[in-house]
Structure 1
Amino acid sequence: MATSKPVFLVIGAGAGIGGHAAQRFAAGGYHAVLARRSDEEGLQRLVDAISDAGGEASGRLLDASLPDTIEELVEDVERSIGPVEVALFNLGAQIGNRSLADTTDRMFELGWRLATYAPFRLARALMPRMAERGQGTLIVTSATAAVRGNAGQHSHAAAMGGRRMLCQTLNAEFAPQGVHVAHVVIDGPVDAPDTLGKMLGEKFDAFKAHKGQDGLLDPAAVADTYWHLAHQPRSAWTHELDMRPWTDVPWWNDN
């Protein structure tokens, strides 16, 4: 369905940051395109919630690890819906806490494919189009592992560090062409049932209770920050920022 509205594309549209960002941009007048790997019913629930609130949205299933999927998604959205004004790359690449001996070649490579190669593919497919139009924003959700490598995070830290450096190179090339690149370090746990909730399982509620009020990152609040990033005046663009709950110690002080 073609739209007269600007288009917001999110790759990694779960019930946490990605889904809330889609809701925020749709409420602000965008047509939100939500892409996720699986759970078509969950995807449709997010789309329906946006429609029920008076917004425009559509959903796509996408396996970003497979060849050509991201490129075909961008081509389809630009052709059948409209030019993408803001894109959010929100896929994680966490394979769990593993020793070096337990990190297989396949696991290490999968982290790179999801965390570094996939956003590279999105940028290559989309950013030249944005540059030709003279405007656009790419927001990339990242993690503490992009700036600090902990034990057991060999794949994740290497891949997220690459994600951060990729964003810096994209910014260096495309900011002078009018395209804003923002790398966001999520330096704390997010109140997201289909990411942290799945990781913790039945311990999730107890963990939330232990963290206390506002002790987890609220994905709706993160989405508000993403909205702000996408609408900053170009005289004061933010390239990188980090977010954490008020009770958490920043990554550079956490020993």
Structure 2
Amino acid sequence: MATSKTLAIVLGAGPGTGAALAQAFAKTHGAVALLARNQSSLESVVSDAAPFRCDVSSADSVADAFAQIKEKWPQHQVTAALFNANCPLQLKPFLEASVDDLKPGIDVNLSAFSFVSPSVIVLRLLATSHGAFHFSQKVIPLLLEAGGGFLGFSGATASIKGSAKFGTFASTKAALRSLSQSLAREFGPQSVHVSHVIIDGVIDTDRRIDPSAIADTFVYLSQQPKGCWTHELDIRPAAEKW
């Protein structure tokens, strides 16, 4: 049952996983804020949450989005947040790669935003020198203010296994995983549950991971009792070839 004055924030809106996350967390929270860079993505799921345009690679855009969220729900507490921003997958021989090839993953996997209000937060962080660092410094105080909450990161197998030609992608995903581990250890004792979810599989295909199942997994993590928290979870379809 939803608690009326709690707020869930989903970053990375879209017709697949983003929409499923909004629907799932709407059942447990009084309100859901949905953030995406493209207006078309927001319009596809607008019936399930209040939409806010946000380019996560821009600190100003993130700050503006969260200021709007605060204005809309001044009395709500953020107890869960989902970072589900899409990170481009680039496969390129290492000797042909350039520093510029790192930028998309850095902008998405460790970039951060200015948070303005505390309640549910499942996130996939991005990676710029001012990104994840600034985001985490803004959002964690809000979770602490709310008495605790859930901070989730959408990850990938590349965070623990750097395959050939995955150099630019794997390096940023590994950084995201390391950040989640550090935050989990520092803020867990203060009731902030940080969890990194490794999603290994094509989403919504014949051999797929169903978006609604992914969303249910995040809800499950957000509701775990303090005495039994999961800090990392690996999900994949049964049809996967090992």
TM-score, normalised to structure 2, is 0.84
The residue matched to 2:57 in structure 1 has which SS?
coil
2 CA distance for matches of 1:17 and 1:41?
A: 15
Counterpart of 1:17 in structure 2 is 17
2:111 aligned to 107, 112, 117, which one?
117
Cα drift, residue 79 of structure 1: 4.3
Cα drift, residue 37 of structure 1: 1.1
Cα drift, residue 22 of structure 1: 0.7
The residue matched to 1:216 in structure 2 has which SS?
coil
Percent identity over the alignment? 33
1:188 aligned to 201, 204, 216, which one?
201
The residue matched to 1:97 in structure 2 has which SS?
coil
Cα drift, residue 124 of structure 1: 1.9
CA RMSD of aligned residues (A): 1.8
2:59 aligned to 63, 67, 79, which one?
67
Cα drift, residue 93 of structure 1: 2.0
Cα drift, residue 185 of structure 1: 0.1
2 CA distance for matches of 1:42 and 1:109?
A: 23
2 CA distance for matches of 1:92 and 1:163?
A: 13
Output one character per residue of 1:141-191: Cα deviation in whole Å (capped at 9) or x when no partner.
111111110112111100000000000011111111111101000011111
2 CA distance for matches of 1:231 and 1:113?
A: 30
1:80 aligned to 69, 72, 76, which one?
72
Structure 2: 5+ residue stretches without partners: 113-124, 126-131
Structure with a larger share of its residues in strand:
2
Cα drift, residue 236 of structure 1: 0.6
Distance change (3 Å), C-alpha of 1:237 and 1:75: farther
Query: Does residue 90 in structure 1 map to residue 103 in structure 2?
Result: no
Counterpart of 1:232 in structure 2 is 224
1 CA distance for matches of 2:61 and 2:185?
A: 26
In the TM superposition, 1:169-248 aligns within 5 A as 169-191=182-204, 208=205, 211=206, 215-248=207-240
Counterpart of 2:173 in structure 1 is 160
Cα drift, residue 42 of structure 1: 3.4
Cα drift, residue 28 of structure 1: 3.0
Asked if the contact 1:74–1:125 (Cα under 8 Å) also holds between the matched residues in 2, the reply is: no
Structure with a larger share of its residues in helix:
1
* Larger of the two Rg values belongs to structure: 1
2 CA distance for matches of 1:238 and 1:75?
A: 31
The residue matched to 1:34 in structure 2 has which SS?
strand
What letter is aligned with 1:100? F
Counterpart of 1:136 in structure 2 is 149
What letter is aligned with 1:238? T
Distance change (3 Å), C-alpha of 1:95 and 1:222: closer
What letter is aligned with 1:142? G
The residue matched to 2:5 in structure 1 has which SS?
coil
1 CA distance for matches of 2:88 and 2:161?
A: 14
2 CA distance for matches of 1:74 and 1:126?
A: 11
2 CA distance for matches of 1:79 and 1:174?
A: 27
Cα drift, residue 75 of structure 1: 4.0
1 CA distance for matches of 2:194 and 2:64?
A: 22
What letter is aligned with 1:230? S
Query: Does residue 31 in structure 1 map to residue 31 in structure 2?
Result: yes
What letter is aligned with 1:242? D
**Aligned pairs, number:** 219
Cα drift, residue 89 of structure 1: 0.6
1 CA distance for matches of 2:18 and 2:155?
A: 12
